[in-house]
Amino acid sequence: MHHVTQLRDALAKQDSEQAAKLTRLLTAASKRQDMTPVAFEEMRQGAVAVRARLGGELLTRNTPIPHDRESGAALVRIVFPDDPGGLEPVFPPALAEAVRDLLAEWRKLDRLAELRAAPHLRCLLYGEPGVGKTQLARYIARHLDLPCVEARLDGLVSSFLGTTARNIGVLFDFANRYRCVLFLDEFDALAKARDDAHELGEIKRVVNTLLQCLDAREGRGFTIAATNHEHLLDSAVWRRFDARIKVPKPDAGARAQILEGNLRPVELDGAARALLDWMTDGLTGADIASVASAVKRYMAVHGEAGGSPRMYPAMLLAALRRYAVMNAKQFDPERVDALTGSREALDKVLVGAGLNQTERAEILGVSQSTISRSARSPGRSRKRGMNGQS
What's the confidence (pLDDT) of residue 13?
Answer: 53
Rounded Cα distance between 120 and 240, Å, is: 12
Strands 77-79 and 148-152: antiparallel
Indicate whether 25 pLDDT > 60. no
Residue partners of 353: CB distance under 8 A and separation at least 6: 278, 281
Window from 60-69, 161-170, 186-195 with minimum mean pLDDT: 186-195
Indicate whether 383 pLDDT > 80. no
Provide the residue count of the chain.
Answer: 390
Average pLDDT over residues 153-159: 78
71 near 167, Cβ under 8 Å? no
The pTM (predicted TM-score) of the whole model is: 0.78
211/22: higher pLDDT: 211
* 30-69 pLDDT tens trace: 433 333 333 445 555 555 666 666 678 999 999 999 998 8
195/238: higher pLDDT: 238
The domains found in the chain, sorted by start residue, are: 2-33 (no CATH), 56-246 (3.40.50.300), 252-384 (no CATH)
CA atoms within 13 A on the CB side of 78: 20
Nearest to 251 by CA among 143, 385, 21, 91: 91
* 306-340 pLDDT tens trace: 777 888 898 999 999 999 999 888 888 888 898 88
* 63-94 pLDDT tens trace: 999 998 888 899 999 999 999 877 788 888 99
Q: Which helix (H) or strand (E) holds 77?
A: strand 77-79
* 347-377 pLDDT tens trace: 888 998 888 888 888 898 888 788 777 655 5
Write the DSSP assignment of 157-220 as a string of letters.
--SSTTHHHHHHHHHHHHHHHBS-EEEEESGGGT-B-TT-TTS-HHHHHHHHHHHHHHHHTTTT
Indicate whether 130 pLDDT > 90. yes
Cβ of 161: how many Cβ atoms within 10 Å?
A: 9
Rounded Cα distance between 149 and 162, Å, is: 23
Indicate whether 158 pLDDT > 90. no
